[in-house]
Amino acid sequence: MDSNSAWWLLLPALLVLAFVGVLPLLTIFNYSFFDIFTLEDRYWVGTEWYREILASERFLHSLGRSLLFSAIVLSIQIPLGVYIALLLPREGRVKTAILMVLALPLMVPWNTVPSMWVSFMDEQSGFGGQAVSLLGFDFDYKFNAVHTWILLVAMDTWHWIGLVVILCYSGLSTISPAYYQAAAIDGASRLQVFRYVELPKMSGVLMMAVLLRFMDSFMIYTEAFRVNAGGPNHATSFLSLDLGEEIAAFDYGPAAARSIIYFVIILTVAWAFKTIMNIRQGESRRVGA
């Protein structure tokens, strides 16, 4: 007879989640229908803020930039993370040392990352800036939009590539040597081993890596703000910077509506990934059966 008593052990975590997550979300959702001057001085405006935001070109442009940044990040970090994970040895201290080095950037506080890179790319005192100058490149991330995007992508890749590698390596570590032996007997090429042995075993963790990296890159704020404050000419004004600007201006009603829209976009993408993962798991079970 099954017992559901174990669910009671989750009750404290669910209460904490409700307190730090659900209640603030409901509060923000409520504020999004008001024009707020003070918490006591509010005026009902209904869905006005939602209609205004969704119909504005600023929102559409910021959404496009955010999606483009996430697409670039994923197209670089996922293949690169898989490639590095494939190069790592399966046993030995070298493997452990490399994984530890790759994990070090993950421990750097997110609010210090842009300061580190801005100092690193300084033409006068930064090693990266001096190296670029010696190579004859005029790297001006302050006034050149392409250079700003390159810096942001490089910064994000340095910070998070370790996560992708660790996730991919964990998937590779579950593959039994018998699969490789069978592939060698059949005369499979390296590409075939990756396509039919390694990639299916990594599919679950790859989906998780894509989801995590999309959510984090889509919500980028500190890096873009500290590097160039959304410039030059709003070239890096992502959705998060628009939201931060409204909060700083004490426009709590529009900021609340923008937060809910932001939340719905991320929730929709997370739901889509979860649905895809469930479909793939169902197909894997049918194939295994």
- For every residue of 134-185, DSSP letters joined together read HTT----TTT-HHHHHHHHHHHHHHHHHHHHHHHHHHHHHTS-HHHHHHHHH
Mean pLDDT of all residues in 109-123: 88
Residue 155 is assigned to a structural domain of this protein = yes
Is the preceding peptide bond at 12 cis, omega within 30 degrees of 0? no
Whether 198 has a pLDDT exceeding 60, the answer reads yes
Q: Which domain holds residue 190?
A: 59-288
Between strands 42-44 and 34-36, the pairing is antiparallel
Q: Assign 3-class secondary structure to 96-110.
A: HHHHHHHHHHHHCCC
Q: What is the pLDDT of residue 57?
A: 92
Lookup: tokens for 152: 């942001």
Residue 167 is assigned to a structural domain of this protein = yes
Residue 12 is assigned to a structural domain of this protein = no
Residue 199 is assigned to a structural domain of this protein = yes
The CATH number assigned to the domain holding 204 equals 1.10.3720.10
Tally the C-alpha atoms within 13 A of residue 96's C-alpha that lie toward its C-beta: 3
Pick left, alpha or beta for residue 42 (phi over 0 → left; psi -120 to 50 → alpha; otherwise beta): beta
pLDDT in tens, 215-273: 899 999 988 999 988 888 889 999 999 888 888 888 889 999 999 999 999 889 888 88
The percentage of residues in the chain with a pLDDT greater than 90, rounded to a whole number, is 42
Residue 24 is assigned to a structural domain of this protein = no
Whether 280 has a pLDDT exceeding 80, the answer reads no
Q: What is the pLDDT of residue 1?
A: 47
Q: Report whether 117 contacts 107 (CB < 8 A).
A: no
- Predicted TM-score of the model (pTM): 0.87
Residue 209 is assigned to a structural domain of this protein = yes
Mean pLDDT of the chain: 88
Residue 34 is assigned to a structural domain of this protein = no
Residue 20 is assigned to a structural domain of this protein = no
Domains identified in the chain, total number: 1
pLDDT in tens, 43-94: 899 999 999 999 999 999 999 999 999 999 999 999 999 999 999 887 778 8
Rounded Cα–Cα distance for residues 173 and 178 (Å): 13
Lookup: tokens for 234: 């709003």
Write the CA distances from 129 to 121, 125, 160, 207, integer angstroms: 4, 8, 22, 36
